[in-house]
A and B are shown apart, each in its own frame.
Chain A
Amino acid sequence: MTTAAVFFEARNVTKRFGGLTALSSVDFALESGIASIIGPNGAGKTTLFNIFTGLYPCDEGAVTFKGRSLVGLRPDQITALGVCRTFQNIRLFANMTAIENVLVGMHARVTLGLWNVLAHTSRFRHTEPRLQARAEALLERVGLRAHANDVARNLAYGSQRRLELARALASEPSLLLLDEPTAGMTQGEAVALMRLLRDLVTDLGIAIVLIEHNMRVVMEVSDRVTVLDHGEKIAEGTPREVQTSTKVIEAYLGTRARERQPRAAR
């Protein structure tokens, strides 16, 4: 079946750092819903995100979003097209307030020029309150409305992760890349966050790619799972298919583990 352009597709992505091949010929595609990328530490998951969002150039391969190539674009251009991300090691604007962080996320959607700002034109005066109202709504959505005026640095760890999510949502992405969004969260918080992500998919129609280590979360929330190991894709499919893949079990538990524990991957 030949369809029109795939929503998001990466083909044959290869990235080398000196002699180390961080990613070799990885394919990845997503139409809608939530996809997860899992794999042991150092498998190349974050590198893949960095290539998707333009932080690293890739050595080979193609990345397309809504039929447009993302290769060679700057990160801000990619964000403007509708692909936004969060970071594994939280990268908030630490000395700005929560709501200011979210407002920065809207930068790509503000089309006012310098003159509008300096002259306080009516366009500017109408835009600012609208931006703020949207930022408030986003903070509400991730449960941080009460902390809107708190400096990001002072927020609790879990709140910082949710603020990063709100900031990314502020750019009105149609594809959201979340790098370990539940790291450091309790199981309860993680489950609540996944419920939120599910709602985002249904309400806003955005697609989400997760990098996650929390397997219970991954298996519950994902429509599809991709497994990376040593820069190569070793499995892909529904959560059930991946759980039963021999290669995956080997990657996570070692070669001989399977013999001892046939159902190790839960």
Chain B
Amino acid sequence: MIYSVLAAAVVALSAWAVATFPRSVLVFLLFQGSLLFTYVAPIPAWLRAVLFAVALLVLMPVIGYYNGYYLEVATQVGIFVALALGLNIVVGLAGLLDLGYVAFFAVGAYTWAIFGSPHANQIFGGGAFPLAPGWFYLFLLVGLFVAAGTGLLLGLPVLRLHGDYLAIVTLGFGEVIRVLANNLDKPINITNGPKGITPISRPPMPFGLPTSEAFYFLVLVIVAVVIVVNRRLEDSHIGRAWEAIREDQLAAQAMGVPLVRTKLLAFACGASFAGVMGVVFSAKQVFINPESFTFLESIGVLAMVILGGMGSIPGAVIGATVVTVLNLQVLKGLSLWLNELKNAGVTVLGYSLTNLPTQLEPAKYERMIFGVILILMMIFRPQGIFPVRRRARELGRQE
């Protein structure tokens, strides 16, 4: 009871605080923390659902009205949550280490980018493109299937490999897709090479919502669908077969699990989530080029899955949130703050920060701090923030 009141109070209070101090990163972190508290606090499930619904459907858009950047952060978090959940199927459940996951994201993004911009005219001639913005919604499905198909294509030759070997080949695959995007501007200009594609059409916004709000809700809906799909897969014979393959491939096969088909399904499912989000991403950004799909992005998504807890859905969600917020807000905020101190000529322990060499500029610490956090996590909580909890099944009455 006390927790219920507390959770509601924390959410309300932090939302009010954000509206009052829309510029403060700390206050926005407080708001995110309140959601985390709501998730872990021992409160009735309905109340948790209500609080989440209010926070995500009402409070967040209102906060976004005061500070549009926060909505951008929330949207990016959503995109990465979907990516992490997709990779979680491949790496967390099926145990297939995929280091080129962002390739599927790229495939989805380019699918809409090419047809949703005038660029397609260069391939097909004529002036039929860009497609009407309404096609975007159909292309969510097209992106899904194209990415899933790419997943199958990658899977077929690669799935005989295990562990490290699989990781290396998928890494190579990810790079191949990026290099293809970089170089397919001739002989036929498909991707427009390093210059990228722009302008990419944005979908018509339902209910006359402002663009950023509309993208926020779109991403929210997709994430909700992805979570439901994930849970259903996990709680079925398919999810159990994936886990069995992760635990002991040979035993799984001897128990009747067809290895190739089951692994391909994992690859295709994981890839399809990335494909859908790729379509959203390209429309949201209006401009894409190969730089958005580097190896570092794949590693970033993998870090989310590992940080959150491999094979765990809440883990993937929290992992994606923490990493994205860390990158977009905390580390950036820290850099800005240190820079301010430096410019103000503050002295620490008799050392004037103004004398700090430019090589040690705070902005350059970001990756290092992120790395340190990852290392500390691996030392002190290697199972992740929300590790998989085995679901205890209710047993039938004993006759």
What distance in Å separates the Cβ of A111 from its nearest Cβ neighbour in chain B?
A: 10
* Residues on A with beta carbons closer than 8 Å to the beta carbon of B238: 114, 117
Residue pair A93, B393 in contact (C-beta under 8 Å): no
Q: Is the CB of A79 within 8 A of B251?
A: no
Bound form: Cα–Cα A104–B262 in Å? 13
Inter-subunit contact B390/A96 (CB<8 Å): yes
Number of interface residues of A (CB under 8 A): 48
Interface string of B201-239 (1 = CB under 8 A from A): 000000000000000000000000000010011011110
Binary interface profile of A, 85-126, with partner B (CB < 8 Å = 1, else 0)?
A: 101000111111101100111111110101001101000100
Q: Are A110 and B237 in contact (CB under 8 A)?
A: yes
**In the complex, which residue of chain B has the Cβ closest to the Cβ of A91?**
B251
> How long is the Cα–Cα vector from A132 to B79 in the complex, in angstroms?
36
Cβ contact within 8 Å between B251 and A76? no
Please, which residues of chain B bring their CB within 8 A of the CB of A149?
Answer: 390, 392-393
Q: Is A167 an interface residue (CB 8 A)?
A: yes
With beta carbons under 8 angstroms apart, the residue of B233, B237, B240, B250 that contacts A96 is B240
A104–B390 Cα gap in the complex (Å)? 15
Flag if A118 contacts B255 (CB, 8 Å).
no
Q: Is the CB of A94 within 8 A of B247?
A: yes
Q: How far is the CB of A106 from chain B (nearest CB, A)?
A: 7
1/0 contact string of B368-399 vs chain A (CB within 8 Å):
00000000000000000000001011011010
From A127, which residue of chain B is reached at the shortest CB distance? Answer: B237
- Chain A neighbourhood of B258, CB < 8 A: 74, 76-77
Question: Would you call B56 an interface residue if the criterion is a C-beta within 8 Å of the partner chain's C-beta atoms?
Answer: no
Q: Is the CB of A107 within 8 A of B390?
A: no
Contact of B229 among A84, A87, A118, A167 (CB under 8 A): A118
- CB-CB under 8 A from A120, the residues of chain B are 232
The reply on B96 being an interface residue by CB < 8 A is no
Partner of B244, one of A96, A109, A136: A96
Q: Is the CB of A55 within 8 A of B256?
A: no
- Whether B265 pairs with A114 at a CB distance below 8 angstroms is yes
**Complex: chain A residue closest to B228, CB-CB:** A118
Q: B315-358: which residues lie under 8 A (CB-CB) from chain A? A: none
- Check if A66 is an interface residue, CB within 8 A of chain B: no
User: How many residue pairs at the A-B interface have CB separations less than 8 Å?
Assistant: 117
Indicate which residue in B233, B244, B248 contacts A117 across the interface (CB closer than 8 Å).
Answer: B233
The reply to whether the CB of A148 lies closer than 8 angstroms to some CB of chain B is: yes
Say whether A128 faces chain B, with CB atoms less than 8 Å apart: yes
Knowing A100-B240, A104-B240, the reply to whether A171 touches B256 (Cβ < 8 A) is: yes
Cross-chain contact A107 with B247 (CB below 8 angstroms): no
**When the two chains form their complex, are residues B251 and A133 in contact, meaning their CB atoms are under 8 A apart?**
no
Cross-chain contact B240 with A79 (CB below 8 angstroms): no
Within 8 A of B (CB), among A125-159: 128, 131-133, 136, 140, 145, 148-149, 151
The distance from the CB of B221 to the nearest CB of chain A, in whole angstroms, is 16
Q: For residue A190, give the distance in angstroms from its CB to the closest CB of chain B.
A: 23
Contact A104 B255 (CB under 8 A): yes
Specify which of A87, A92, A103 is in contact with B240 (CB 8 Å cutoff): A103
Residues of A within 8 A of B256 (CB): 76, 79-80, 84, 105, 107-109, 171
In the complex, A75 has a CB within 8 A of chain B: yes
Contact A124 B236 (CB under 8 A): yes
Q: Does A53 contact B (CB under 8 A)?
A: yes
Contact partners of A93 in chain B: CB under 8 A? 243-244, 247-248, 251-252
Q: Which of chain A's residues have a CB closer than 8 A to the CB of B259?
A: 74, 76
Given A79-B254, A96-B390, A136-B396, are A104 and B236 neighbors across the interface (CB < 8 Å)?
no
Provide the residues of chain B in CB contact with A103, threshold 8 Å.
Answer: 237, 240
B20 CB–A CB distance under 8 Å: no
Assuming the contacts A84-B255, A136-B395, asked whether A151 and B236 have C-beta atoms less than 8 A apart, the reply is no
- A79 near B232: Cβ-Cβ < 8 Å: no
A211 to B57, CA, bound (A): 62
Contact status A79-B255, CB under 8 Å: yes
User: Complex formed: what's the CA distance from A129 to B14 in Å?
Assistant: 43
Q: Which residues of B contact A74 (CB under 8 A)?
A: 253, 258-259
Within the complex, the shortest CB–CB distance from A113 to chain B, in Å, comes to: 9
- Over the window 62-80 of chain A, the binary record of Cβ atoms lying under 8 Å from chain B Cβ atoms (1 yes, 0 no) is 0000000000001111011
| Contact yes or no, B393 A91, CB < 8 A | no
Is B232 a contact partner of A107 (Cβ separation < 8 A)? Answer: no
Kindly report which residue of chain A lies nearest to residue B254, judged by CB atoms: A75
A235 to B365, CA, bound (A): 74
Q: Determine which of B233, B240, B243 lies in contact with A118 in the assembled complex, contact meaning CB atoms within 8 Å.
A: B233
A99, B391: Cα distance in complex, Å: 11
Known: A76-B255, A99-B393. 15 other contacts (CB 8 A): A55-B250, A76-B257, A76-B258, A95-B247, A95-B390, A96-B244, A104-B241, A106-B237, A107-B257, A109-B256, A118-B229, A118-B232, A118-B233, A128-B235, A149-B390
List 10 interface pairs A-B (beta carbons < 8 Å), by A numbering: A79-B255, A92-B251, A93-B243, A95-B390, A97-B393, A104-B257, A107-B241, A107-B255, A108-B257, A149-B393
Report, nearest first, the 3 A-B pairs whose CB atoms are least far apart: A108-B256, A93-B247, A79-B256
